[in-house]
Amino acid sequence: MRKRLAGLTGLATLGAVAGWLVTAPQRLDASQVAQGPGNAAAGARLFHAGGCASCHAAKGAKGDDRLKLGGGAVLATKFGAFQPPNISPGPDGIGGWTLAQFDNAMRRGVSPDGRHYYPAFPYTSYARMTGQDVADLFAYLKSLPPVAGKPPETALAFPLNIRRGIGLWKRIHFDDLPMVTLPPDAPAAVRAGQYLVEGPGHCGECHTPRGPLGGVFRAGWLGGAPDAEGKGRVPNITPAKLTWSEAEIAEYLKTGFTPDYDSVGGTMVEVQANMAALPDEDRAAIAAYLKAVPAVK
Amino acid sequence: MMRAVLAAVLATAVILPATMATAGPIEDRKAIMKGNGRDTKLAGDMLKGAVPFDAAAANKILANYAAAAKAFPAHFPANSKTGGETEAAPAIWDKPADWKAATAKFQADTAAAAAMKPADAASFAKAFGMVTANCKSCHEAFRIKKG
């Protein structure tokens, strides 16, 4: 009896240790981590492509206020309310961070103090960025005005409040592999679009349905999904439904008007404003890629 | 007699479009937006140079928009929150002050644009820009796409 009890305790301990190891935050290898120095001017493009201001600037901010990244409006989802933190270059933001710490946040979802971030922060997409782009973005963020004050930390209900659980979630749902396998002869524009859409643009985070645990459903890539905040549907942007020409898609991203002059609406208004700040060739690349992805019925 | 008949016919002709338009508030506001879409397409084509600039048509578009903006807010009674595949957001009724501010801005901007009476494409672009600045800002908060 005592032997059995000892065995059980041993097993439980072993399980706990294994669980602890399995859920441990995985940082980038030294060989992978971005090397500076970054180019702030080049980073501006990634800032727009990544839509940082949409979550980290104050809600409804216009003009230069979009560069004050003190933490924005709460994202209210069925999993709970996620509070975007201050990512301005002051002491309340990322002022004291190193590039390696920033890179681990962006591409591994691990905070400087070794905790998992919730994937409401789309590192699940940013993981596909190049180290150079992460370095450039970091340099750009460092050039923005510091903002004082820390918004309250995201507080979800049990069991989602146990951040270690995200480690398990990452093992199931997190990788940096391409979402779409392009043919070897795919044009350069399609590849450039793939990078923007699957990486910094994180388009799939809203436009792709998710499974019960909140992981992106690969086979439904860009096939449309219910809005995360419960407001209607995010449309299918695969060729099954998006029948506009490449030029029309690029024009929509630039002006916010559809080919029949309906206007952009909902949360896409913010996104389109970001896309409008990109160079023409980036919007053309995004359009080329969207025409090349598998149709999701 | 003849005169009475004529008067009746005339009266019907005047009233008819109005009665036809009262199929319901959801249909009415959709029809207004459809008209805005048609006008915006023509304006866009003119500004892109796809069709030649026509000052009369341009001013008609601005007048249409001013009229549409004026008529629009009346088509959101409390009993029209759902149904008819409406894309109206609950925020219209939940945040009446914001909604009122947005529709008032739409009315003011469209009236100002129409009053500019543009005679060339450049000034029409300026006037029409004031109008279309309202599309996104209003649709961001008050419209929910269903598809």
- Is residue B22 predicted with pLDDT exceeding 80? no
Mean residue pLDDT of chain A comes to 94
Q: Which residues of B touch A269 (CB under 8 A)?
A: 136-137, 139-140
**C-beta separation of A99 from A38 below 8 A:** yes
Which tops the pLDDT comparison, A225 or B10? A225
Mean pLDDT value of segment A31-40: 94
Reported as a single tens digit per residue, the pLDDT across A237-250 is 999 999 999 999 99
- Is residue A17 predicted with pLDDT exceeding 90? no
Nearest residue on chain A to B85, alpha-carbon basis: A232
pLDDT of residue A186: 97
**C-beta separation of A229 from A75 below 8 A:** yes
Whose tokens are 């809005």? That residue is: A227
Residue A77: strand pairing partners = A80
Mean residue pLDDT of chain B comes to 88
CA-based nearest distance A176→chain B, Å: 30
pLDDT of residue A10: 80
Asked if B140 lies within 8 A of A267 by C-beta distance, the reply is yes
Answer whether B140 touches A (CB < 8 Å): yes
One-letter amino acid at A42 equals A
Asked if A262 lies within 8 A of B37 by C-beta distance, the reply is yes
Q: Which residues of B touch A260 (CB under 8 A)?
A: 37, 41
Reported as a single tens digit per residue, the pLDDT across A198-224 is 999 999 999 999 998 899 999 999 999
- Asked if ipTM goes beyond 0.85, one says no
- Is residue B44 predicted with pLDDT exceeding 70? yes
Mean pLDDT value of segment B11-22: 44
Answer whether A264 touches B (CB < 8 Å): yes
Mean pLDDT value of segment B27-31: 95
Asked if A260 lies within 8 A of B139 by C-beta distance, the reply is no
Answer whether B89 touches A (CB < 8 Å): yes
Asked if B44 lies within 8 A of A270 by C-beta distance, the reply is no
Asked if B144 lies within 8 A of A270 by C-beta distance, the reply is no
Instruction: Return the exposure string of A128-145: e unless at least 16 CB atoms fall within 10 Å of the residue's CB, then b.
Output: bbebebbbbbbbbbbebe
Mean pLDDT value of segment A180-196: 97
Answer whether B144 touches A (CB < 8 Å): yes
Mean pLDDT value of segment B14-32: 70
Answer whether A260 touches B (CB < 8 Å): yes
Reported as a single tens digit per residue, the pLDDT across B58-116 is 999 999 999 999 999 999 999 999 988 899 999 999 999 999 999 999 999 999 999 99
Burial grade of B85 (CB within 10 A; 0-12, 13-18, 19 or more): exposed
Interface of A with B in 206-245 (CB under 8 A): 227, 231-233, 235
Mean pLDDT value of segment A27-47: 96
Alpha-carbon distance of A151 to A157, in angstroms, equals 18
Mean pLDDT value of segment A132-157: 97
Answer whether B146 touches A (CB < 8 Å): yes
User: In 10 A of CB B122, how many CB atoms?
Assistant: 10
Residue A234: strand pairing partners = A225
Asked if B147 lies within 8 A of A269 by C-beta distance, the reply is no
Q: Which of A260, A262, A266 lies at the smallest CB-CB distance from B140?
A: A266
pLDDT of residue A244: 98
Residue ranges in chain A assigned as alpha helix (H): 2-22, 40-50, 52-56, 99-108, 123-126, 131-142, 164-173, 188-198, 204-207, 246-255, 268-276, 280-292
pLDDT of residue B14: 42
Q: How confident is the model at residue A256 (pLDDT cuts 50, 70, 90)?
A: very high
Mean pLDDT value of segment A164-169: 95
Mean pLDDT value of segment B44-54: 94
Q: Which residues of B touch A235 (CB under 8 A)?
A: 145, 147
Interface of B with A in 35-54 (CB under 8 A): 37, 40-41, 44
**C-beta separation of A179 from A114 below 8 A:** no
